[in-house]
Every structure is written in C-alpha cells, then in structure tokens.
C-alpha cells in the first residue's frame, strides 16, 4: 500500500504519519515510479520483472530483474539472480547480484553468492560468502584490469590481501 497525504487524514481531521515501511515504499515509488511488493505469505518461482522498484517479504526462486531498486526484507528468502539499480538485503539470499550502483547487506542479512556493483556496503552483523567485483559499469563481466575480492564471515575488520578480504 502506498500512502497519500489525503489518505493519512483521520475522521477528526488530524494528520497521521504512515508507518515506516509504507513511508519507505512511498519513497521508492517517488524515486522510481512503481513499487512491486511480494508479500510475506507469497512464494514465487520463475522470472520476476519490475518496471520500477521491488520489495520482497516472502520467498522467490528464479530470476529477478528490476529497473529500480530491489529490497529484501528480514523475513525474505530468495534464491535467484538479481539485476537492478540498487539492492538491499536484510534477509537470506543465495545467488548472484549485478547492480548498476549500490549493493547493501544489512545487519542480520546473509548473502551466499557473488556481487557486482560500484559500491558494496556490509553492515556489522551481515554475513557475505562470495566474491565482490567492484565494477564502475557493473556490467556483470570482469575485464582483465578489475580486481575481485572474496569475503567470508561477519562484518568487522578489513584485510588488504586482494584475494581475500574480510569485511
């Protein structure tokens, strides 16, 4: 559900702010035009395509392509390959992520797979097992000049070894 100012008015005329989740959905909608929501009870298998942004609260297995952002909530369980503008993972994810800009792993989230992005943010308490390819174009292909890094474990310290980076 996306809140509008006129819908947030109570019968007495008071203005009530929508809950945080609905505010985030509205912000995503304002930024990208549309938000598709896969609810907590939903289970999808196959290809998911969104012209705007996508929020997943349930389970998805297959391919995810979004012109906007993809957000995996803490209760989500996704086994897929994702292509999007930005991705934020707070739930469980297994697969590959290719984003044009920013990949974000939130506290409590887990990624088992590879990430190709311009920017990778791993919060303390997030678990990332895979390879991070920092690609200015986030094309999904690795040229000979790019350095890849492999991260395992929880967020915390970072090492300088190009073959193994613990974040």
Looking from the CA of 55 toward its CB, the CA atoms found within 13 Å total 21
CA torsion 131-53-56-24 (nearest 10°) is: 110
C-alpha–C-alpha distance, residues 93 and 110, integer Å: 6
Under the banding of pLDDT at 50, 70 and 90, the label for residue 35 is: confident
pLDDT tens readout for residues 80-136: 999 999 999 999 999 999 999 999 999 999 999 999 999 999 999 999 999 999 976
What pTM value is reported for the model?
A: 0.66
């Amino acid at each position: 559900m996306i809140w509008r100012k006129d819908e947030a008015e109570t019968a007495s005329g008071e203005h009530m702010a929508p809950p945080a989740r609905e505010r985030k959905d509205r912000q995503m909608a304002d930024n990208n035009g549309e938000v598709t929501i896969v609810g907590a009870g939903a289970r999808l298998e196959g290809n998911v395509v969104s012209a705007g942004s996508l929020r997943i609260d349930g389970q998805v297995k297959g391919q995810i392509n979004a012109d906007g952002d993809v957000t995996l909530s803490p209760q989500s369980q996704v086994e897929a390959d994702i292509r999007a503008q930005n991705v934020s993972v707070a739930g469980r994810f297994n697969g590959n992520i290719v984003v044009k800009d920013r990949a974000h792993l939130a506290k409590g989230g887990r990624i088992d797979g590879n990430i190709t992005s311009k920017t990778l943010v791993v919060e303390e308490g997030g678990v990332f097992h895979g390879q991070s390819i920092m690609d200015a174009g986030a094309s999904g292909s690795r040229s000979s000049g790019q350095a890849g890094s492999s991260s395992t474990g929880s967020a915390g310290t970072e090492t300088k070894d190009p073959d193994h980076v613990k974040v």
